[in-house]
Amino acid sequence: MDCIFCKIIAKVIPAAVVYEDKQILAFKDIHPLTPIHVLIIPKKHIESINDFSETDEQLAGHMVVVAKKIAADLQTGEKGYKLLFRVGDWGGQEVGHLHLHLLGGAQLYEEIRPI
């Protein structure tokens, strides 16, 4: 098991978990970019959005609904937040286990531009 996020799911590596159910784990990012920075991941190892298939549609929707609940629980739901999937090299994905970033707790710059 080389995947760092699979190790977090297996509790081999500790993480600050904010939500867990049968399909999903959510924990605080170790290097937060914003006051609230949570990663929402499927417990099943899927590398990226490019590996999602029709059979994962329920899981994809569930991740978004959970993100909304976590945003509300952490008091950034009303003011707003960003949800971000990075995909592959050009998308800047560094960890090869699908994760949805929840970024909030402050008003955020847009700052998405080509290199």
Q: Which active-site residues does the annotation give?
A: 99
Counting residues that bind Zn ion (by CB under 5 A) gives 5
Closest of 69, 79, 5 to residue 35, by C-alpha: 79
**Residue of the chain from 7, 37, 45, 68 that contacts Zn ion (CB under 5 A):** 45
Q: How far is the CB of 45 from Zn ion (least distance, A)?
A: 4
**Residue of the chain from 24, 25, 27, 102 that contacts ligand 5GP (CB under 6 A):** 27
Distances (CA, A) of 22 to 25, 63, 109: 8, 12, 34
The most distant pair of C-alpha atoms in the chain lies apart, rounded to whole Å, by: 39
Residue ranges that bind ligand 5GP, judged by CB under 6 A: 4, 13, 15, 27-31, 39, 86, 92-95
